[in-house]
Amino acid sequence: MSRVVVTGRIPETALEKLRAEHEVDAWESPESIGREELLRRVAGADAVVSLLTERVDAELLDAAGPQLKVVANVAVGYDNIDVPACTERGVVATNTPGVLTEATADIALGLILSATRRLGEGERLIRSGHDWKWGMFFLLGSSLQGKTLGIVGMGGIGQATARRAKAFGMEIIYQSRREIDPGVAAELGARRVELDELLANSDIVSLHCPYGPATHHLIGSGQLAAMKDSAYLINTARGPIIDEAALAAALREGQIAGAGLDVFENEPSVHPGFLELENVVLVPHLGSATVETRSAMAMLAADNALAVLSDERPPAPIN
């Protein structure tokens, strides 16, 4: 039997699947595992099932040892994994694409609605106990019908978000490394543009691109200045894609109308500038947070690990 180390809590169904074939050492605490404890536990592991809260780098790979075959990340993003270091050591890295597409797109649309219709402000007003009364100009927001949604990163989640927005009567433009399938583009009425054009013409900009050196602070002060002052910025991808200091300043100064953020640059810390503002909706990385989605993610990660341990091709390899 091979030894599988699971770095954080995952659904029991996935653990049972792993335990049916291998010895499993799973971190069961609701708190994230400490670095020293993690390095100790991975020693001698044949497989590591990792969460996005754990950094899988050369130090961890060397601590595991040369017998390590696979790192199965329970996430679609893998910026927590040093993929070149894995490849250099002959370790297969995998992720969980596809299974969280719809749930994350739901959160993106929820943030769009919350930001444009000022739902967070209204909820806070009622909970504060302050007097309020309906009026023609009370907490006016912005409608979606006839507006333009600009999607940065038109992969599966970006396309799923576009479908939802289309149902609300929005026009779709997108920026991506490559053209999407012509049939999908026709279905959505989506047009590919460069980032500058997207920022200048979108009423809402939604980020769905992967995070890496090329997208670090992709949205900074210059990009925010290029947006309409009536526009909204939505991020369900990764926090460091946005320069948070620049965004806080833009929101404070009315350079853009609002934002909705599910991810943050230094999670779990949130830029203090956001906490003082009413025009930003903040949720704690809930993109894939449904029972069904998290279970599917964990099962796919288990399938990835089991496949590599059986010398088979995993369902979702990265390298």
- Catalytic positions are 238, 267, 285
Closest CA to 1 of 28, 25, 31, 21: 21
Greatest pairwise CA separation for the chain in angstroms: 69
Q: How far apart are CA 216 and CA 239, in angstroms?
A: 9
Distances (CA, A) of 103 to 4, 160, 317: 28, 9, 22
Secondary structure class of 313 (helix, strand, coil): coil
| Tokens matching residue 130 | 């302050």
The DSSP symbol for 199 reads H
The DSSP symbol for 46 reads S
Q: How far apart are CA 73 and CA 92, in angstroms?
A: 11
Residue 149: phi, psi to the nearest 5?
-100, 125
Secondary structure class of 187 (helix, strand, coil): helix
Q: Are residues 121 and 171 in contact, defined by beta-carbon separation less than 8 angstroms?
A: no
| Tokens matching residue 243 | 């320069």
| Tokens matching residue 143 | 């409608």
Amino acid at site 29 = S
The DSSP symbol for 205 reads E
